[in-house]
Amino acid sequence: MRTTCIYPFLLAGILFLGGCASQPVLIKQGSQPDTLEVCIDFAVKLDSDEKLAHLDAVNTFINNYNNQQMPHYKLLSCSKGESRAVTLIIQNTRYVPPGEQALYLLVSTAGIASLVNGGLGFVWAGFSTTSLGVKLSADIADTPNTVYRQFSSSPYFYELASVKIKHMNKFQSFMFGLFDELKQSGQIMSKPQVES
């Protein structure tokens, strides 16, 4: 009975540390661009279909973002990426194929069954994952460093083509969150500093 009380605190601690470890992407003080270019680069060799899927996701995102009721920025496809640019550098993308989905489901079922029988219980879940770097052009960047991020999507009960589509939809959600973060950072950085 006592060990089950520890689980919520353990989960909260992991989430807290994960949140602390994420470096923000910041627009530098005094730089509040109205227009941003969205560029994509590939640090790993991907086949042309994979590159096209990522490029299509970025173009769809740009279109959807610009068609919002009041977008904070006007987004453009990358031309040179030298000024007022946000570059997404794809480091790695891994999809969970149907065979692995079945394995995760089988192992998780056994883990849940052990919980029902008084054991510790566990779930083994695999997620399609993309690791990427986010880099702002020098004219708007608060720091010259690339900020590394990751996003995942749950692949269960889908064939591989559908897993890829679902993951690219998650990529678009990731980009909406990123540009909301940029908007927030620009508003915070542009507030006048109060001297005490």
pLDDT at residue 10, as a whole number? 47
Q: Is pLDDT of 42 > 70? A: yes
Instruction: Grade residue 196 by pLDDT with cuts at 50, 70 and 90.
Output: very low
Give pLDDT, residue 35.
93
Least confident of 6-15, 84-93, 111-120, 135-144: 6-15
Q: What is the pLDDT of residues 102-118, one digit of tens each?
A: 776 667 666 666 666 66
What domains can you pick out in the chain, each with its CATH number? 24-96+127-185 (3.40.50)
pLDDT reported for residue 108 = 64
Residues 5, 104: Cα–Cα separation, whole Å: 26
pLDDT at res. 185: 79
Q: Name the residue with higher pLDDT: 189 or 128.
A: 128
Nearest to 77 by CA among 52, 89, 60: 60
Q: Each residue of 131-190: pLDDT tens digit?
A: 999 999 999 988 888 999 999 988 667 788 888 999 999 999 999 999 999 888 766 544
pLDDT at 60: 96
Q: Judge contact between 185 and 24, C-beta under 8 A.
A: yes
Closest CA to 174 of 126, 134, 125: 134
Predicted confidence at residue 97, as pLDDT, reads: 78
Q: Which residues, 6 or more positions from 80, have their beta carbon under 8 angstroms from its beta carbon?
A: 37
- DSSP lists the bridge partners of residue 152 as 129
Burial annotation 117-147 (CB, 10 A radius, 16+ → b, else e)? eeeeeeeeebbbbbbbbbbbbeebbbeeebb
Which has the higher per-residue pLDDT, 132 or 194? Answer: 132
Strand order across the 74-77 sheet: 74-77, 35-42, 85-94, 128-136, 147-153
How confident is the model at residue 175, as a pLDDT?
A: 95
Strands 128-136 and 85-94, by their bridges, are antiparallel
**pLDDT-based confidence at 18, cuts 50/70/90?**
very low
Q: What is the pLDDT of residues 58-79, one digit of tens each?
A: 999 999 999 998 889 999 999 8
pLDDT higher than 60, residue 1: no
pLDDT at 23: 79
